Amino acid sequence: MDAPDLVVPVRTGRANAQLRYALRSWAANLPHRNVWIVGYRPPWLRDVQHIETSQHGTKYQNTTAAVKAACQHPAVSRTFVLCNDDMFVMAPQPDGMPVRHRGPISDVETYYVARASGRYLDGMRATRDLLVSLGHERPLSYELHVPMPVEKDGMLKALDVGRHLDVVHKRSLYGNLAGIGGEEMRDVKILKRSPQFDRASPFLSTMPDSFANGHVGAHIRRAFPDACRYEAGGH
């Protein structure tokens, strides 16, 4: 079986150091065929495929449009791995990217209610309510900051089902509707500069500040010091 493509929605921004090191980590540790950059293509990239999409909506609308465009593109592999530009694969995945989830959406909602509000939480609740209305009594959250295997037709179906939602949690909608299962794990997003994070984790994710100025960013840069095949001219 051929290795899947990697699909990466990318916002406008020329430098994007997180993307540079994410690509290094995928090149080293995540088997794949092609890398598809969807949205903005930084000028330092090479040997990647590109699908241009509008960057004039909200970040939620832009990423949804990017995923839909990848699913509709005939050259993207039927099953691909959906990545963000701040997701790092720190250890080899010789059998490909495993399916992971975050546990029930209701538990994740409790976590966010204690820390934040706003459109993301509203979208989580709306996605949960939609899944419950479709018969998924205790739907799982797939909103982890790790790459996710996606089957194109299933994702297109999920996006159509959730098209009326202002903010759709597309990973969760797809994962539940397609019944992909997977193993539960804690999220790996490192929000702060603190040295307190799991250095043995096979997956990591950062915020721009924690990557640029935090211990986790230094750890990632030490792990992947050399330019990969997707970088023109190295640094």
- 158-184 in b/e form (b: 16+ CB < 10 A) is bbebbeebebbbbbbbbbbbeebebee
3-state secondary structure of 209: helix
Identify whether 228 is part of a domain.
Answer: no
Residue 108: which of 142, 137, 133, 82 has the closest Cα?
A: 142
pLDDT beneath 50, residues of the chain: 235
Domain hosting 108: range is 5-223
pLDDT attached to residue 116: 67
Amino acid sitting at position 6: L
CA 87 to chain centre: 7
3-state secondary structure of 150: strand
pLDDT attached to residue 165: 96
Identify whether 109 is part of a domain.
Answer: yes
Contact 103, 140 (CB under 8 A): yes
Tokens encoding 65: 């449009």
pLDDT attached to residue 15: 83
Partnered with residue 101 across adjacent β-strands are: 184
What gap in Å lies between CA 81 and CA 86, rounded to an integer? Answer: 14
Identify whether 146 is part of a domain.
Answer: yes
Tokens encoding 127: 């996605």
Nearest-5° Cα angle at 133, 163 to 64: 20
What gap in Å lies between CA 70 and CA 188, rounded to an integer? Answer: 25
Q: Residue 216: what are its φ and ψ, rounded to 5°? A: -65, -40
CATH number at residue 193: 3.90.550
What gap in Å lies between CA 203 and CA 28, rounded to an integer? Answer: 13
pLDDT attached to residue 235: 47
Contact 23, 230 (CB under 8 A): yes
Identify whether 233 is part of a domain.
Answer: no
3-state secondary structure of 100: strand
Identify whether 115 is part of a domain.
Answer: yes
pLDDT attached to residue 1: 67
What gap in Å lies between CA 32 and CA 25, rounded to an integer? Answer: 12
Identify whether 230 is part of a domain.
Answer: no
Identify whether 177 is part of a domain.
Answer: yes
What gap in Å lies between CA 221 and CA 101, rounded to an integer? Answer: 27
Identify whether 234 is part of a domain.
Answer: no
Amino acid sitting at position 169: H
Number of domains into which the chain is organized: 1
3-state secondary structure of 56: coil
